[in-house]
């Protein structure tokens, strides 16, 4: 890759990147094929994971019909919690253990797919809950071998969880979001039917769309893989390897699609071209960040979501305060990219160009402002909260937000510009409001 300055080899950095991807099926009507897919994977008794809302909707009915048609025995678990916790992961794992399933199917958003990954893991390789959880909160113990086949069917155009080996949850005792990250958790097959997104409310499309956009932006601007230390053994190379030429391909196209379609997909549920485009972008960004990893906006989002007090956005369950994942990410993003731009100005400017900004006559020195400006305009146009303050936080919350974010070392290490607690405080302060 001598042609690409961004990936110049360094003395102690890695020279190799690897690509692991889920098998993918994409298109309207693809959910009708899940039964046959499960049969092809040798699944005879499946656990079907969903949540109480999605469980009563068309996509789950379609999957159930296709499982019946293929003669596959199954049990439904619809008690997945939106924004899962260690407690809800444990309950799901217990269901999976008792059910003696030989395969898993998840139909829903990121919470459903992530819960299914965790249940599959703990039922296949039982251990103390904290064993596989990311360090420093957990022990980050390697998973001993493969888990059971998992077919993941996303119903929102957001998390990209169908293509990653990451399962995110709230650890209740610490009021902190963390996760389990391992190649073994990546679903065997993703089945993506874009018609699932046609009935989503605008606010859900906006929040999940910004998650997609930020996956692509963060993966594109992540520390290059050539600057991450070479692993001691090949299999110790982290899943989040840093930006690499393969992830760049997905990021560029995901950014172009998000620039074209995000506003349109939010404004008009009948604009199927836009909603299909965002679903495809979510998949591309999921593949990209599954190989390169995200950094600062996601690292900062965990405490924004975890410490929420009164925020109850429309389009989401109203029984308890919640800051949906995509919102908790994007409220940090303009300030975060202003901070990281100096580490790779040309990349930040290119990202703005891909999102549709006319960058003629601009230089790398403008890139942080230009990219932040574009993000802010998109947030305003789609009804996102006005920064971290718009979710209900103030100056006095900054130390707590910093403490939560600083725990996310796996993500912070992927930032192109080194981050310490002081700089996190500055970025949160700059993220309080944008307009
Ligand atoms: Fe995300």
16-32 pLDDT per residue, tens: 999 887 799 999 999 99
- Please check the confidence at residue 4 and state whether its pLDDT lies above 70: no
Q: How many A from CA of 333 to the centre of ligand 1?
A: 12
Predicted confidence band of residue 83 (pLDDT cuts 50, 70, 90): confident
The arithmetic mean of pLDDT across residues 381-389, rounded, is 97
Q: How many A from CA of 364 to the centre of ligand 1?
A: 27
Q: How many A from CA of 297 to the centre of ligand 1?
A: 9
DSSP 168: E
Mean pLDDT comparison of 53-57, 118-122, 135-139, highest-scoring range:
118-122
Q: How many A from CA of 34 to the centre of ligand 1?
A: 25
Please report the pLDDT score of residue 99 as a whole number. Answer: 97
Is 0.95 surpassed by the pTM of this model? no
Q: How many A from CA of 219 to the centre of ligand 1?
A: 11
Counting Cα atoms < 13 Å in the Cβ hemisphere of 348 gives 30
**Token pair in block for residue 402:** 């910093």
Please report the pLDDT score of residue 22 as a whole number. Answer: 79
**Token pair in block for residue 30:** 């693809």
Q: Give the Cα separation of 107 and 154 in Å (integer).
A: 6
Could you report the per-residue pLDDT of 274-328, keeping only the tens digit for each? Answer: 999 999 999 999 999 989 999 999 999 989 998 899 999 988 878 889 999 999 9
Please report the pLDDT score of residue 263 as a whole number. Answer: 98
Q: How many A from CA of 181 to the centre of ligand 1?
A: 13
Cβ burial, residue 87 (10 Å; 0-12/13-18/19+): middle
Over the chain, what is the mean pLDDT? 94
- Please check the confidence at residue 174 and state whether its pLDDT lies above 70: yes
- Please check the confidence at residue 427 and state whether its pLDDT lies above 90: yes
- Please check the confidence at residue 1 and state whether its pLDDT lies above 60: no
For residue 298, CA distances in Å to 275, 293, 295 come to: 24, 10, 6
Please report the pLDDT score of residue 349 as a whole number. Answer: 97
Q: Which domains does the chain have, with CATH numbers?
A: 23-197 (3.40.50.1970), 201-430 (1.20.1090.10)
Q: How many A from CA of 61 to the centre of ligand 1?
A: 27
The arithmetic mean of pLDDT across residues 131-157, rounded, is 93
Q: How many A from CA of 46 to the centre of ligand 1?
A: 27
Q: How many A from CA of 65 to the centre of ligand 1?
A: 31
Q: How many A from CA of 430 to the centre of ligand 1?
A: 21
- Please check the confidence at residue 346 and state whether its pLDDT lies above 60: yes
For residue 355, report the phi and psi dihedrals to the nearest 5 degrees. -80, -5
Counting Cα atoms < 13 Å in the Cβ hemisphere of 382 gives 31
The residue behind tokens 């009164």 is: 310
Please report the pLDDT score of residue 3 as a whole number. Answer: 38
Sequence-ordered list of residues with C-beta below 8 angstroms from that of 56, at least 6 positions apart, any chain: none
Q: How many A from CA of 296 to the centre of ligand 1?
A: 11
More confident: 232 or 21: 232
Could you report the per-residue pLDDT of 116-129, keeping only the tens digit for each? Answer: 999 999 999 999 99
Q: How many A from CA of 86 to the centre of ligand 1?
A: 19
């Amino acid at each position: 890759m001598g042609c690409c300055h961004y990936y110049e080899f360094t003395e102690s950095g890695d020279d190799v990147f690897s690509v692991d991807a889920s098998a993918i099926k994409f298109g309207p009507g693809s959910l009708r094929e899940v039964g046959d897919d499960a049969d092809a994977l040798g699944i005879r008794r499946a656990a079907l994971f969903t949540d109480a809302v999605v469980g009563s909707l068309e996509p789950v009915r379609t999957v159930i019909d296709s499982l019946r048609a293929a003669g596959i025995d199954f049990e439904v678990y619809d008690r997945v919690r939106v924004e899962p916790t260690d407690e809800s992961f444990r309950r799901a794992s217990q269901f999976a253990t008792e059910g003696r399933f030989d395969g898993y199917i998840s139909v829903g958003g990121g919470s459903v797919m992530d819960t299914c990954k965790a249940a599959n893991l703990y039922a296949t390789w039982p251990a103390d809950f904290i064993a596989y959880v990311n360090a420093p909160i957990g022990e980050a113990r390697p998973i001993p071998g493969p888990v059971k086949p998992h077919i993941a069917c996303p119903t929102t155009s957001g998390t990209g969880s169908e293509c990653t080996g990451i399962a995110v949850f709230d650890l209740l005792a610490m009021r902190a979001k963390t996760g389990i990250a391992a190649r073994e958790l990546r679903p065997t097959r993703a089945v993506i039917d874009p018609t699932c997104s046609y009935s989503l409310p605008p606010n859900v499309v906006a929040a999940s769309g910004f998650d997609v956009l930020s996956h692509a932006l963060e993966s594109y601007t992540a520390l290059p893989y050539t600057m991450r230390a070479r692993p001691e053994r090949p299999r110790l190379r982290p899943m989040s390897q840093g930006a690499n030429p393969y992830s760049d391909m997905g990021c560029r196209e995901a950014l172009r699609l998000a620039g074209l379609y995000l506003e349109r997909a939010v404004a008009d549920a009948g604009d199927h071209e836009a909603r299909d485009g965002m679903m495809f972008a979510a998949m591309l960004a999921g593949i990209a960040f599954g190989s390169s990893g995200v950094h600062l906006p996601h690292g900062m989002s965990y405490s924004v979501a975890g410490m929420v007090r009164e925020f109850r956005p429309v389009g989401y369950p109203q029984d308890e305060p919640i800051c949906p994942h995509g919102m908790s990410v994007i409220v940090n993003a303009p300030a975060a990219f202003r901070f990281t731009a100096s580490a790779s100005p040309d990349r930040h400017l290119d990202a703005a160009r891909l999102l549709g900004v006319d960058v003629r006559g601009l230089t790398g020195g403008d890139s942080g402002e230009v990219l932040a400006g574009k993000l802010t305009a998109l947030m305003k146009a789609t009804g996102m909260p006005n920064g971290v303050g718009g979710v209900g936080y103030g100056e006095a919350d900054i130390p707590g937000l910093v403490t939560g974010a600083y725990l996310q070392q796996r993500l912070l290490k992927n930032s192109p510009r080194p981050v310490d607690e002081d700089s996190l405080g500055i970025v949160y302060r700059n993220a309080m409001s944008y307009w």
